[in-house]
């Protein structure tokens, strides 16, 4: 289980690093940050997301007793729902605590940005798919 979890974390980290870089233009915090702080914010975000994905994956593994969620549609649905709920709650909390601020171009839904709301579910499922398709086969 440890090699599988490590693989999911590593793939999730790098996918989220790319995702963070691509959607950082939608954050006022990133647009105004000096380069050193920008790099720190992007790396911290990718690390946090990688850990969150690994933890959510592990929770669904324990609940469904199946290492590969793509073998069970309900496990995928639960992973996605937990990811959306966690992302939504984290965005609301972080905006209230002023951890970051959105730029005017950020598309919004339910008071949070669309790209961060979708991020964990999309990059998480893609990370798991990559690991099971190409690494843990």
Q: 34 near 67, Cβ under 8 Å?
A: no
Q: What is the pLDDT of residues 39-52, one digit of tens each?
A: 999 999 999 999 99
Average model confidence (pLDDT) for the chain? 96
Domain segments of the chain: what residues?
2-132
Q: Which residues of 45-55 are buried (b: 16+ CB within 10 A; e: fewer)?
A: bbbebbebbbe
Distances from the Cα of 116 to the Cαs of 67, 97, 109, 121, in angstroms? Answer: 26, 16, 11, 10
Instruction: Check residue 54 and give its pLDDT.
Output: 98
Give the model's confidence band at 8: pLDDT under 50 very low, under 70 low, under 90 confident, else very high. Answer: very high
pLDDT of residue 76: 97
pTM over 0.85: yes
Model confidence at 28, pLDDT cuts 50, 70, 90, reads very high
pLDDT at residue 136 is higher than 90: no
- Residue 135, pLDDT > 90, answer no
Question: Stretch 94-107: mean pLDDT, rounded?
Answer: 95
Q: How confident is the model at residue 26 (pLDDT cuts 50, 70, 90)?
A: very high
Q: Average pLDDT, stretch 66-81?
A: 96
């Amino acid at each position: 289980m440890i090699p599988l979890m490590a693989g999911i974390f590593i793939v999730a980290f790098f996918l989220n690093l790319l995702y963070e870089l691509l959607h950082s233009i939608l954050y006022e915090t990133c647009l105004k940050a000096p380069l050193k702080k920008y790099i720190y914010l992007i790396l911290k975000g990718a690390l946090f997301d990688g850990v969150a994905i690994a933890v959510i994956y592990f929770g669904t593994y324990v609940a469904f007793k199946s290492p590969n969620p793509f073998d069970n549609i309900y496990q995928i649905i639960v992973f996605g729902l937990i990811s959306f709920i966690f992302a939504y709650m984290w965005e609301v909390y972080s905006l209230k605590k002023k951890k970051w601020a959105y730029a005017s171009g950020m598309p919004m839904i339910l008071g949070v940005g669309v790209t961060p709301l979708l991020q964990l579910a999309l990059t998480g499922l893609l990370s798991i798919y990559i690991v099971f398709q190409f690494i843990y086969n």
